[in-house]
Amino acid sequence: MTNRQAEIAAALDVVPPFSDEAALQAEVAKRKAFIKQCLRNAGLKVLVLGISGGVDSLTAGRLAQLSVEELRKETGDAAYRFIAVRLPYNVQHDEQDAQDSLRFIRADVDDCVNIAASVQGLSAAVSDLQPLSDARRDFVIGNIKARMRMVAQFTIANAHNGLVIGTDHAAEAVMGFFTKFGDGACDLAPLSGLVKGQVRAIAKYLGAPEHLVFKVPTADLEELRPGKPDEESHGVSYAEIDAFLHGQPVSDEAYAIIVRTYDNSRHKRELPLAP
Domains defined along the chain, listed by start: 18-222 (3.40.50.620)
Instruction: Give 162's contacts (C-beta < 8 A, 6+ positions apart).
Output: 44, 45, 46, 47, 48, 83, 156
The structure's pTM equals: 0.95
Confidence of residue 219 (pLDDT cuts 50, 70, 90): confident
Q: How many CA atoms lie within 13 A of 235 on its CB side?
A: 12
DSSP string of 188-209? B-TTTT--HHHHHHHHHHHT--
Give SS3 for 170.
helix
What confidence tier does 92 reach under pLDDT thresholds 50, 70, 90? Answer: confident
User: For all residues of the chain together, what is the average pLDDT?
Assistant: 96
Is it the case that residue 1 has pLDDT exceeding 90? no
Residue 54 forms beta bridges with which residues?
none
Model pLDDT for residues 93-140, shown as the tens digit of each residue: 899 999 999 999 999 999 999 999 999 999 999 999 999 999 999 999
How many C-beta atoms lie closer than 10 Å to residue 3's C-beta? 7
Active site residues: 56, 172
Residue burial 132-152, b: 16+ Cβ < 10 Å; e: rest: eeeeebebebbebbbbbbbbb
H-run or E-run covering 71: helix 55-75
- DSSP label of 144: H
